[in-house]
């Protein structure tokens, strides 16, 4: 898009470095989340806040009406936006509840979770929700979640052998994800000779074509 003169908005900003589920969703699919925030969450939260103020509700009742309900409804719609299936609905419900619990924790002025613990809890919550999102059905999602505890690990060597290249790509992703920032790339391009930049672009195209598998018509973010 940039080569054609089209400037696209940034859609992901290092989401796997987030230390809270709300921060992760401020970094993940940012264009969709801005749309949902502008047209669903903010208007609904504003309306419910006005209702709570007119009724002079208590602190936690106001929290439920003005924050928890709009958050859960917004992520429920987010799930339906991705597909009309129970697995997408469960994905939205898990995310909405997780964000509500985080906001309630802060509102109650509970102790701050250490950085590494906050990151692990965020990743665990997100991976459980995305399991339902990615699985074709609720039964399949449950099977995937239970597999590490009740599945067979006998064929781990064969599995590693068959999937060595994808595992390598995941390792490289984890290694460089923290540096995955468009601003860093722009600075690097400005400070690098043009012929080296074009060589890097061509190499990137070659690698992308080489590792691409399956039908090109698959859904891509």
Catalytically annotated residues: 82
Q: Which two tokens stand for residue 33?
A: 């989340």
Residue that is written with structure tokens 């903010």 in the block: 42
- Rounded distance between C-alpha atoms, residue 98 and residue 204, angstroms: 37
- Rounded distance between C-alpha atoms, residue 51 and residue 64, angstroms: 12
Q: Which two tokens stand for residue 47?
A: 């309306």
- Rounded distance between C-alpha atoms, residue 78 and residue 125, angstroms: 17
Residue that is written with structure tokens 């995310």 in the block: 95
Max Cα distance, the chain (Å): 67
Give the phi and the psi of residue 75 in degrees, each rounded to 5: -75, -25
Give the phi and the psi of residue 184 in degrees, each rounded to 5: -65, -40
Length of the chain: 221
Q: Which of 103, 90, 89, 76 is nearest to 20 (CA)?
A: 103
């Amino acid at each position: 898009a940039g080569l054609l003169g089209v400037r696209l908005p940034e859609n992901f900003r290092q989401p796997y470095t987030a230390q809270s589920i709300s921060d992760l969703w401020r970094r993940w699919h940012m264009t969709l989340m801005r749309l949902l925030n502008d047209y669903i969450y903010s208007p609904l939260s504003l309306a419910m806040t006005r209702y709570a103020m007119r009724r002079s509700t208590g602190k936690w009742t106001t929290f439920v009406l003005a924050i928890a309900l709009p958050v859960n409804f917004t992520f429920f719609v987010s799930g339906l936006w991705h597909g009309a299936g129970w697995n997408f609905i469960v994905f939205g419900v898990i995310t909405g509840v997780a964000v509500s619990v985080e906001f309630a924790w802060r509102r109650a002025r509970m102790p701050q979770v250490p950085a590494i613990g906050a990151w692990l809890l965020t990743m665990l919550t997100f991976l459980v929700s995305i399991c339902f999102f990615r699985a074709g059905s609720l039964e399949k999602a449950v099977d995937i979640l239970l597999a590490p505890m009740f599945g067979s690990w006998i064929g781990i060597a064969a599995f590693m052998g068959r999937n060595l290249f994808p595992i390598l790509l995941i390792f490289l992703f984890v290694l460089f994800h923290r540096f995955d920032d468009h601003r860093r790339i722009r600075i690097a391009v400005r400070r690098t000779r043009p012929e080296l930049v074009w060589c890097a672009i061509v190499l990137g195209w070659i690698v992308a074509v080489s590792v691409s598998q399956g039908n090109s018509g698959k859904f891509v973010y």
